[in-house]
Structure 1
């Protein structure tokens, strides 16, 4: 089944070129099924890149997905054309009366700042509080996961001695079958790119959540509440093949302290083409979330949320 996105969104041509089934708005409106309503709060500066990465994964599903895009009104993005924001994005005030099957809160390049010092922190808190009553399942990514764990449960983030940067092996932590990781290998790989972490000992103090997966190298990876209404993912399964390369090349060019991303280039040689070993994990992760935590659980009538 297709993902429905606005007519003329820049991601459309890219996704169609990859044989992702995309349905334009005017065609979707003629069908009699109810698509899943997903809200994407895009906090990344390069919004077109991030929305394309996430739409690629949401579109690889047998479910029809209807996506709304929002950005924070209290901070004006500088790396996304204003005309793109005007055409495809809204602010929270424009959608706060609606209800959604699911929501994604992306990461943001503000992780080394205290949460309360982030320009849009108060607005983000309002959105996360609103999600408790207007969204069935919220999927937090990287800094978005750290922010969500801090806001909902008071779980802090901690600085790392050096950037967690590369592709790392992970394992599930729960003995019983966890639907979010159904179909994944016993060891699966995920990209990470961050300067901070959340720690197991802090999470274990909060009975309302549990750790679902972790990495011996990268630490805690997946945390969720007991019903899957709030899911927190510390890595970036959505990354494109060359995303880490772009970050590495940028930091090298700026003279910043950065090591070659782990398990990314063959023989750790940046002159070689990176090998993708996380794509199947990314597709299963998002399709499992859409199916088991959104589609299977959300009432057909969203007003009953």
Structure 2
């Protein structure tokens, strides 16, 4: 997929070295087509890593995509240079009058707080509400999935005694859905979270569809409004070594984090991880763009409602 992103974004050089086709602004202006507009609200601490992970997955169809990164006005990230944020990110209030074909909202390291205790919760609520009338389809990932289900549908989260951490088998519950086109019956997904949502709460709300789950990691993917909203409790976007970095960051500092399950070769953290989720991660994002964004969004983007 030709992705229209700023020429100087660090992800550009990284992905070109992986032979992933990324179209910079200069070349994109020479193509006479309407690109899809995708806005990404990146709440993860390591912004550049997450940018790269998501752009990598949005690069698999022949459609041109205009990527816009959004930041919160009510929160200043500590782990990304302010110069990077000022150059590549826009505040919500600068783009809230615009409409977008798709939106991705990432996880955030605030799971152990109640939603109302999160310092930027009021701004997040505004964005969640805005997305209902300004975006064709939204992907909520990890904490954002839990927060979105809570805000839109009143679904609670529950704290875990031990972090749900590792690579877990997931089962498609409705293989006929376009989001699962090309999927195997079982696929793998990384999980990295201290809280969960529970199956019965989802089943009790007829506005929600549980479309993938795991015997070990529980609720996996929830869909609402015929695909206008997807809530993903794991991280199909993760790069191979992300869980390794998280594990070694927390090693010796927390007593609720074990070695990630089903991750390292021979369960030895001195050996490299076994990547089991890459193909389905690419397929999931491609299906989302094709069937729930491109084929659903109006040609006149102002008609999104």
Task: Tell whether the structures are fold-level matches, with TM greater than 0.5.
Answer: yes
- Which residue of structure 1 lines up, in the alignment, with residue 13 of structure 2? 13
- Which residue of structure 2 lines up, in the alignment, with residue 179 of structure 1? 178
- Which residue of structure 2 lines up, in the alignment, with residue 156 of structure 1? 156
- Which residue of structure 2 lines up, in the alignment, with residue 82 of structure 1? 82
Are residues 1:290 and 2:298 paired?
no
Residues 6-60 of structure 1 deviation map (CA, whole Å, 9 limit, x = unaligned): 1100000001001111111121112111111000000111111111100000112
Are residues 1:128 and 2:122 paired?
no
Deviation at 1:3, TM superposition (A): 1.1
Q: How does 1:232-251 map to 2 (within 5 A)?
A: 232-251=231-250
- Indicate the SS of the match to 1:227: helix
Mapped to 1, the partners of 2:63 and 2:219 lie a distance apart of: 30
Query: Could you tell me whether the CA contact under 8 Å between 1:251 and 1:257 is conserved in 2?
Result: no
- Indicate the SS of the match to 1:15: helix
Mapped to 1, the partners of 2:225 and 2:301 lie a distance apart of: 21
Deviation at 1:255, TM superposition (A): 5.1
Are residues 1:211 and 2:220 paired?
no
Mapped to 1, the partners of 2:223 and 2:156 lie a distance apart of: 16
Query: Could you tell me whether the CA contact under 8 Å between 1:165 and 1:262 is conserved in 2?
Result: yes
- Which residue of structure 1 lines up, in the alignment, with residue 103 of structure 2? 103
Mapped to 1, the partners of 2:269 and 2:232 lie a distance apart of: 27
Deviation at 1:253, TM superposition (A): 4.5
- Indicate the SS of the match to 1:254: coil
- Indicate the SS of the match to 1:264: coil
- Which residue of structure 1 lines up, in the alignment, with residue 69 of structure 2? 69
- Which residue of structure 2 lines up, in the alignment, with residue 224 of structure 1? 223
Query: Could you tell me whether the CA contact under 8 Å between 2:163 and 2:256 is conserved in 1?
Result: no
- Which residue of structure 2 lines up, in the alignment, with residue 27 of structure 1? 27
Residues 68-108 of structure 1 deviation map (CA, whole Å, 9 limit, x = unaligned): 00111101111000000010001101100100000000000
Deviation at 1:259, TM superposition (A): 1.2
Count of aligned positions: 304
Residues 241-269 of structure 1 deviation map (CA, whole Å, 9 limit, x = unaligned): 10000011111153544211111012211
* TM value normalised by structure 1: 0.98
- Indicate the SS of the match to 2:260: coil
Flag structure 1 segments of 5+ consecutive residues without an equivalent.
none
Mapped to 2, the partners of 1:208 and 1:225 lie a distance apart of: 6
- Indicate the SS of the match to 2:226: coil
Mapped to 2, the partners of 1:226 and 1:137 lie a distance apart of: 9
Deviation at 1:213, TM superposition (A): 0.3
Mapped to 2, the partners of 1:28 and 1:259 lie a distance apart of: 45
Structure 1 consecutive aligned stretches of length 4 or more whose deviation exceeds 6 Å? none
Mapped to 2, the partners of 1:255 and 1:237 lie a distance apart of: 25
Q: 1:226 to 1:257 in 2, by over 3 A?
A: closer
